[in-house]
Structure 1
Amino acid sequence: MDFRPKFGRRSRSAAALVLLAALAVVLSLSACGKNGNSLVKGKINVVTTFYPLYYMAHEIGGEDANVVNLVPAGVEPHDWTPKSQDLQLASQAQLFVYNGAGLEGWTEDFLGGAGSGDKLLKVEASQGVKLINGSGGETGEGGLSVDPHTWVSPKSAVVMAGNIRDAFVKADAAHAAAYESRYQALKDKLDALDAEFAQGLAPYRGRDIVVSHQAFGYLCRDYGLRQTAVMGLSPEAEPRAQDMVNIIKYIKEHKIKAVFFEELVSSNLADTIASETDAQTLVLNPLEGLTNEQEKAGEDYISLMKRNLQNLQKALQ
């Protein structure tokens, strides 16, 4: 994939305007910015691909890091592809954090286009998490149809945070002690969240949940639940008519009380199924991104995961 702008036959004045605009982008990225989308001198500059990684990197990096997230609030990361300015941003950073496990299919070409050589440290945050394949079974690296939603389980999030901590220390050894201290504080919060999920879902082990998007495999594996998804690993996958019939039959037979949907995609399918089965609809957030309202309200990974636990308990009671 070529991320360079494609220019056709244009007048010299138009070409000059394009060059000036490109120069403005470069200058803005090189300067200290106040809008959170620029690089900052005197700090380690970190680019993350989407919200959970931004949250972890921001918590660990603290005052020693400037963390910029590529996917903006309110945008579903499965829908998002990078633009030339994102490439420019990454090429000048010191650390690039991506999920891996097949989530960001554009990463290889994107990093190749950055042309930063060894200066940009690339971190696959999901490294070390035991992956699940698309059919629900576990798989090793290189398995097909891998479920990329590793971060949805607090247990996996601890592993991912450790990988990000290691990257900070490698890229900026002078602040290693500070990174380690902030990592331990984050780990304590994630461990406490893990304990809440383990205790809160213990009475419901072996129970079924119906979700609109197959994003909760790691959460279900780690806390003893089973997910049945209306759609596949990508929230844009369209179910067939027979799939809908089967899901409705499944809900009725298993007396499922709620159908879960997520906030960054339409709830139409969940609403349709709920109306056919008398089940209620509840939010189960895959934490792929914050809405603009959540961002303004100061919500974060921990608070939204706690709300997920509350909704799971509500549906399973």
Structure 2
Amino acid sequence: MKVMFSKFSLLLIAAVLLLSGCGAAGSTNGANTVGAQADSGSAASSEPSVSPAAGETEAKKLQVVTTFYPMYEFSKQVGGEYADVTALIPAGTEPHDWEPSAKDMAVLKEADVFVYNGIVEGWAEQALDSAANEKRIVVEASSSIELAEGGEDEHAHGEEAHSDADAEHDHAAEHEEAEHEEAEHEEAGHEHDHEHSLDPHVWLSPKLAQAEVAAIQEAFAKADPAHADSYKANADAYIAKLKELDDAYKAGLAGMKRTEFVTQHAAFGYLAREYGLTQVPISGLSPDQEPSPEQMAEIVKLAKEQQIKTIFFETLVDPKIASTIASEIGAKTAVLNPLEGLTEEETADGLDYIGVMKNNLEALRLALNE
């Protein structure tokens, strides 16, 4: 899947000049903001340190470069004391439209392991080609997970407005349109369109997050066989915590008064399906996809019919549209965090993936029981 960005053509010359002087442990455009706050053990230099007690040079840590927060957190949990983990996308940055700078490309080139989710990072494949490194191990953490088409059940509330005949007609029309597009577009472009229709937000399901952690562990063991047992132990311990989180969601979301919840963008499809809920997103898979007036009217209508009293917004996106809908129906707003990045305040409060997910569970429980 080749995705071309004009920005790269301007960056590559600068990247070549930087590659000789930039190592993976360097700070990049604030990209180490999360790592510096959450992992005080990250090295600032590639030079080995000397233990005062033993007087022996310590082995160089595994240099791991990740994309956005969940990939950083999962990698840090698996790597433990044997890996320096860096996040390219700075804390507080919405990752869907982020692109790497020349310095980021230099950091990527020097990485022992590169961890990305997939789909969210549309720039990743070309960046890897441009910052080539034969020894680097690349892990697409979601690769073992069957991704769902975005929005495939997001508007299940619309079933009442469509008869079975209408649905069959719509399906036939969609099939005909897909065939027409396939005939007109080049294979690469068609593949790109298909990729953008897939929902990448698997990390928001505690169950699917376990598969991502396992994929990261396998990559670390391959890159650093000497510490494979430690990576496996770390991954097993963290997966146990994710299983506890999954159990908490199953118990906590059972027997709610309603199952529908309105959220800022379509990030919670996997979580909703896992626990028998229905996500009603205001915008699409990317938060910058603004809804049409017809979609807004449909959401308002549903919210009134279901007596929904909370409209969820997220911390890294302008909540204006969510607030508008809430005002229209006399509801309040609350945060449902898609964990695409932590804010400085969340980091200062010591929140991490599991902490935020527990907050999300409590927010859902309150909203679904109103």
Does the pair score TM above 0.5? Answer: yes
Structure 1 residues 43 and 205 mapped into 2: Cα distance closer, same or farther (>3 Å)?
Answer: farther
Secondary structure at the counterpart of residue 338 of structure 2: coil
The 8 Å contact of residues 311 and 326 in structure 2, kept in 1 or not, is answered as: yes
Match of 2:107 in 1: 89
Match of 1:5 in 2: 11
Aligned residue among 57, 60, 65 for 1:47:
65
Task: Say whether 1:215 aligns with 2:286.
Answer: no
Deviation for aligned residue 1:254? 1.2
> Letter of the aligned partner of 1:66 in structure 2?
D
Structure 1 residues 6 and 57 mapped into 2: Cα distance closer, same or farther (>3 Å)?
Answer: closer
Deviation for aligned residue 1:205? 8.6
Counterpart CA distance in 2 for 1:169 and 1:221 is 32
Secondary structure at the counterpart of residue 77 of structure 2: helix
Structure 1 residues 206 and 168 mapped into 2: Cα distance closer, same or farther (>3 Å)?
Answer: farther
Secondary structure at the counterpart of residue 202 of structure 1: coil
Structure 1 residues 149 and 199 mapped into 2: Cα distance closer, same or farther (>3 Å)?
Answer: same
Structure 1 residues 30 and 49 mapped into 2: Cα distance closer, same or farther (>3 Å)?
Answer: closer
Match of 1:126 in 2: 142
> Letter of the aligned partner of 1:164 in structure 2?
I
Deviation for aligned residue 1:29? 2.1
Deviation for aligned residue 1:294? 1.1
Aligned residue among 232, 239, 243 for 1:191:
243
Structure 1 residues 207 and 90 mapped into 2: Cα distance closer, same or farther (>3 Å)?
Answer: same
Structure 1 residues 99 and 106 mapped into 2: Cα distance closer, same or farther (>3 Å)?
Answer: same
Matches within 5 A, 1:10-159: 22=17, 26-29=20-23, 40=46, 42-100=60-118, 102-117=119-134, 119-136=135-152, 145-159=197-211
Indicate the RMSD between aligned Cα atoms, in angstroms: 2.4
Aligned residue among 260, 279, 289 for 2:341:
289
Secondary structure at the counterpart of residue 21 of structure 2: helix
Deviation for aligned residue 1:130? 2.5
Structure 1 residues 156 and 200 mapped into 2: Cα distance closer, same or farther (>3 Å)?
Answer: same
Secondary structure at the counterpart of residue 89 of structure 2: coil
Counterpart CA distance in 2 for 1:109 and 1:38 is 27
Matches within 5 A, 1:249-268: 249-268=301-320
Q: Give 5+ residue unaligned stretches, structure 2.
A: 37-41, 48-59, 155-190
Structure 1 residues 247 and 146 mapped into 2: Cα distance closer, same or farther (>3 Å)?
Answer: same
Match of 1:11 in 2: none
Aligned residue among 280, 283, 300 for 2:352:
300
Deviation for aligned residue 1:39? 6.2
Counterpart CA distance in 1 for 2:239 and 2:229 is 15
Structure 1 residues 247 and 136 mapped into 2: Cα distance closer, same or farther (>3 Å)?
Answer: same
Counterpart CA distance in 2 for 1:284 and 1:292 is 17
The 8 Å contact of residues 25 and 63 in structure 2, kept in 1 or not, is answered as: no
Secondary structure at the counterpart of residue 212 of structure 1: strand
The 8 Å contact of residues 3 and 113 in structure 1, kept in 2 or not, is answered as: no
Match of 1:164 in 2: 216
The 8 Å contact of residues 48 and 67 in structure 1, kept in 2 or not, is answered as: yes
Q: How many residues align?
A: 300
Matches within 5 A, 1:173-252: 173-204=225-256, 207-252=259-304
> Letter of the aligned partner of 1:239 in structure 2?
P
Structure 1 residues 65 and 184 mapped into 2: Cα distance closer, same or farther (>3 Å)?
Answer: same
Deviation for aligned residue 1:246? 1.3
Q: Give 5+ residue unaligned stretches, structure 1.
A: 8-17
Deviation for aligned residue 1:4? 5.5
Counterpart CA distance in 2 for 1:232 and 1:156 is 21
> Letter of the aligned partner of 1:96 in structure 2?
F
- Structure of greater relative contact order (alpha carbons < 8 Å, 6+ residues apart): 2
